[in-house]
Structure 1
Amino acid sequence: MTTAQNIQFQFQQARQAYARGAWAEALAACDRLQRQVGRSEEVLNLRAMSLLALDRGPEAAATLREALKRKPNSAGMNLNAARIDLALGNPKGAKRHAMTAARAASNDARVLYQAALLCRQCGDYPTALRLVDRCQAREPGLSDAWYLKGSMLLDQGDADNAAIQFEQALAHNPANARAMADLARLRGELDKDDRLMVMLEGMATRGRETWARSCALFALADLRARAGDAEAAAALYQRANELGNQVRPFNFDAWLRQQDETLSAYMDLVPQGAPGHGNGAGLVFLVGMPRSGTSLCEQVLAGHPDVLAAGELHAMAAIETLAARGNTDESLRRHYIEALPADHGRYRLTTDKLPMNFERVGLIHRLFPGARFIHCTRHPLDVVLSCYQQDFQAGVKWAFSLDRIAQVYQAQDRLMKHWKEKLPEHITEVRYEDLVGDLPATASALTTFLGIEPDDAMLAPEAIDRTVQTASRLQVREAVHTRSVDKWRAYEDLLAPAIERLGDLIPAPGK
């Protein structure tokens, strides 16, 4: 083997390591290659994405910037730069790189699809829809493009046209597991002989990729749950989560240590200002466990003309990393403000409903002492069950184990009790059971906390026309109901590990 062939062989091995999720191995291979052949843009590009996968976003950004200096119009590297910008909470930079890629490869349907996907993640739906239309014009048979358009329509509440797009996705690729699953959920109840049911069962047992089998199992479980067959649904959810855990490995012990470190770092936290005044006076953070009602709570607030509901912003997670690297508070504040929607200045209040910001309340208060927090809570077993029932393969990494979900709930409870003790005037609590059980009273309490006048539109959240990307995008368009209260009771046997773990955190019956 010649030297050139050996280098190419090593590079292919690095790419294969990255593809199978061995990111540390891929990074080490890239570093070896750099010592042998220098810092070529191809190696820099792979090194950057390996760093990103290892949650080393700032290093990834610096590495890819170096690669882009050599090939500024590379479509592939600009797409990767956009992905890194999104991970660092910089949607404006992400869109800029996505559009550079789309211009550089304007006739490449796959690049246009990826650019559309990234623009959707940036929240720019008009641009994303235009890009996906261009993609479909160039390659009508690209199933993923039909699925993406359907997903965007569903985000916007257009379920009928979303279903048409999902049907087209399946017509072009009958093995498109996500289109199959979302179409089944839209259709609701399926008979055993239904075409979709047959397709889902086939994918669940014979799908080539682990994530696709898991996706199909989650959809089948949802259908069984809707039919009231909790026993069959529980078995399917277990199988789906076992596969999901293989797809999304997560260093849970490291995450738990980080929560201990956060608590220690802010043990002596004292209020730096009054809520609603000074830096961050117009910022409202909805925090708590995923599936605790944050989406519905934000949808209620979105009905008020003085509130901009910005959805789940990932900027603060990136800022936490930058803070650990020694960035100044002023630069961190600027980073967050630049990540807000462009029109946020037109509103008195802007909400950020990334639930996991419960980890960062101390940091947020340090940067924005005028910011307020709404802690969304729900019966712990309903939270655990709802997380376990959700296909979080593209999101929450710890939600594939009942015991892990329960441990996250414990960590959240401990941190929020600390934040409330230290910042009692900055934080209010909204119980999901109160939100759905007495919406007028809960909405009134929220407006009082936020210093705004009540508005009748807040009492009909299902009628509010806005884009919702979260897992609750279908539920927030339903009239408020109490059907999801105490759902856990039908799954008590399944939840045994969580019940044992949570212990005294489970409220007594009737509370």
Structure 2
Amino acid sequence: MATAPNPRWPSDLMQAALALHDNQLHVAEPLLKAYLKQDPFEARAIRMLAELAGRIGRYKDAETLLRRAVELAPGFTAARANLALVLYRQNRAPEALTLLDAVIADEPDNPGHANLKAAALGRLGGFEDAILLYEKVLHDAPTQPRVWLSYGHMLKTVGRRDDGIAAYRRALALQPTLGDAWWSLANLKTVRFDDSDIAAMEAALARDDVGDEDRFHLDFALGKAFEDRRDAVRSFAHYDAGNTLRRTRIAYDAAETTAFVDRSIAALTPALLEARHGQGCAAPDPIFVLGMPRAGSTLVEQILASHSLVEGTTELPDMPAIARQIADYPDGIAALSADALREIGEDYLRRAAIQRRTDRPFFIDKLPNNWAHVPLIHLALPNARIIDARRDPIACCFSNFKQHYARGQSFSYSLDDLGRYYRDYVRLMTHVDAVLPGRVHLVDHEKLIENTEAEVRALLTACSLDFEPACLAFHENDRAVRTASSEQVRRPINRDGVDAWRPYAPWLGPLRVALGDVAES
């Protein structure tokens, strides 16, 4: 919902709007702040400053500004629509939906509002309602490529693969340079691009009017296209170009992750564990499947969700959100009282309940990044199961390097960052194993592929679940899957991807160096 310049605006505000439209944030920010210093009650300028904050991920700042804009101008529909978007991006879909109903009532013909509402419905598991809303929007406005794109995402999630592909192709017919649609096809992992597809993507990259976001999506898609053709040279060139460009648009400091892990290890001591024994929320409901992205966590989730007592949900944002509210986190976990730990566990369960759709006693939270919060999970939910889905370091890291994520996983766009992140993840999990032996069950992805039944039985035992044959027939489960592995887990277990990194070995030196000794583990 970008700001469109209005020729009737004051000249200073017009210049700021033009800079924001061109994504020149360094130009727009001082202009807007100077304007607001002269007129702090100008809702349009406040809204633009909020949009700028949102573009760089400062969503709380954006929310505060937008609430001020709406307070000053209650009828400012664009500001309310922006606020709904910011709430959605903070994983507060129920609040976003409440706002969107009012926004849509004011502007019923705006497809962007309905598109966001459908996405919010999908975030809450209302996939069929979301699909119906997309279909209504596309019936009334069939020439909206980004709505076709979002519709394709939802169809893919519920397993309607061919319909999803058709929706992505429709988006590309309307906008051949739409890099996100090309990447969405590549991200299915089952689509093979033909010569005309490759020519179309290369032609799009050659255009001067294609923006950075389309460019890095196109590079990731072309990397996959040439990988399928076993042309590692051209494939890596595109993966590298896509990652390099994407890295310029994000702020990530590997040293901060290392420091965080250092502090987590220092906080999780035997003395703390002894003092907090028996505290927290006793509920056994959650099964946390965590680790690195692209390490097989979706496969583990699909296996467990095929059990009659386990509900698969999605990658829940709740534990990181709770952690952000703890003072001086992660050091601050040592100061949490028994009441605070119990409340954290209960708060997590309340938040997670929004995603529950069945009365099965156990549910899965498969947010990989929860590895960073294992100490908090253990203290707040001591009876929750914790599964560490782990994959060969180089294979896992390179799989991330090939993957473009819509949001999050900022460490994944540099081989050096990836290696350091993986190493820090293993460091924390090794410490957890030392002070809490047996607390976390490790699922080795390569062992799971080679000896599936034995590993599945061990996994179920670790979760105190009886063996059920359906867990071996996980690919027959028609549940919705929202991750990049959605199509892969709808097929029987196979070795595809196990050695996919080997043709790229000549370029992976920086990754090996960053991994250090972990590379050989």
TM interval, shorter chain, is 0.7 to 0.9
Structure 2 counterpart of 1:369, one-letter code? P
Partners in 2 of 1:227 and 1:334 — Cα distance?
51
Which has the larger displacement, 428-437 or 499-508? 499-508
- Contact kept, 8 Å, 1:307 with 1:350, in 2: the verdict is yes
Q: Which residue matches 1:203?
A: 204
Aligned with 1:294 (options 283, 297, 310)? 297
Deviation at 1:97, TM superposition (A): 2.8
Partners in 2 of 1:302 and 1:99 — Cα distance?
33
Q: Which residue matches 2:434?
A: 421
State the secondary structure of the residue aligned to 1:428.
Answer: strand
Deviation at 1:346, TM superposition (A): 1.4
Partners in 2 of 1:91 and 1:260 — Cα distance?
34
Partners in 2 of 1:162 and 1:246 — Cα distance?
31
**1:408 is the counterpart of 2:437:** no
Deviation at 1:448, TM superposition (A): 1.0
- Contact kept, 8 Å, 1:288 with 1:377, in 2: the verdict is yes
- Contact kept, 8 Å, 1:90 with 1:338, in 2: the verdict is no
Aligned residues: 501
Deviation at 1:234, TM superposition (A): 1.8
- Contact kept, 8 Å, 1:373 with 1:427, in 2: the verdict is yes
Q: 1:125 to 1:41 in 2, by over 3 A?
A: farther
Deviations along 1:20-42, whole A, 9 cap, x unmatched?
A: 66768766665554443234443
- 5 Å matches for 1:480-491? 480-491=493-504
Q: Which residue matches 1:262?
A: 264
Partners in 1 of 2:350 and 2:470 — Cα distance?
29
Partners in 2 of 1:183 and 1:287 — Cα distance?
26
- 5 Å matches for 1:85-104? 85-104=87-106
Q: Which residue matches 1:336?
A: 348
Deviation at 1:50, TM superposition (A): 4.3
- 5 Å matches for 1:158-237? 158-183=160-185, 188-191=191-194, 194-206=195-207, 208-237=210-239
Partners in 1 of 2:25 and 2:263 — Cα distance?
26
Deviations along 1:102-156, whole A, 9 cap, x unmatched?
A: 3332121222223323333343222322322232123211111112111211111
State the secondary structure of the residue aligned to 1:270.
Answer: helix
**1:448 is the counterpart of 2:467:** no
Deviation at 1:373, TM superposition (A): 1.1
Q: Which residue matches 2:246?
A: 244
Q: Which residue matches 2:4?
A: none
Give the aligned CA root-mean-square deviation in angstroms. 3.1
Q: 1:185 to 1:253 in 2, by over 3 A?
A: closer
Structure 2 counterpart of 1:312, one-letter code? E
Aligned with 2:402 (options 375, 380, 389)? 389
Q: Which residue matches 2:327?
A: 324
Where structure 2 has 5 or more consecutive residues not aligned to the other structure, the ranges are 1-6
State the secondary structure of the residue aligned to 2:113.
Answer: helix
TM-score normalised over the length of structure 2:
0.86
Q: Which residue matches 1:140?
A: 142
Deviation at 1:54, TM superposition (A): 5.2
Deviations along 1:446-493, whole A, 9 cap, x unmatched?
A: 111111211111112211111111111221112111222233222211
- Contact kept, 8 Å, 1:297 with 1:435, in 2: the verdict is no
Q: 1:467 to 1:26 in 2, by over 3 A?
A: farther
Partners in 2 of 1:329 and 1:23 — Cα distance?
41
- Contact kept, 8 Å, 1:306 with 1:348, in 2: the verdict is yes
Partners in 2 of 1:475 and 1:371 — Cα distance?
27
TM-score normalised over the length of structure 1:
0.88
Where structure 1 has 5 or more consecutive residues not aligned to the other structure, the ranges are none
Deviation at 1:166, TM superposition (A): 1.8
Partners in 2 of 1:21 and 1:362 — Cα distance?
40
Which has the larger displacement, 206-215 or 87-96? 87-96
Q: Which residue matches 2:317?
A: 314
- 5 Å matches for 1:361-400? 361-392=374-405, 394-400=407-413
- Contact kept, 8 Å, 1:86 with 1:122, in 2: the verdict is no
Partners in 1 of 2:73 and 2:17 — Cα distance?
20
Q: 1:345 to 1:469 in 2, by over 3 A?
A: closer
- 5 Å matches for 1:40-189? 40-53=42-55, 55-71=57-73, 74-183=76-185, 188-189=191-192
Which has the larger displacement, 133-142 or 284-293? 133-142
Partners in 1 of 2:215 and 2:145 — Cα distance?
18
- Contact kept, 8 Å, 1:15 with 1:46, in 2: the verdict is yes
Q: 1:426 to 1:98 in 2, by over 3 A?
A: farther
Partners in 1 of 2:47 and 2:368 — Cα distance?
32
Q: 1:102 to 1:486 in 2, by over 3 A?
A: same
Partners in 1 of 2:133 and 2:40 — Cα distance?
36
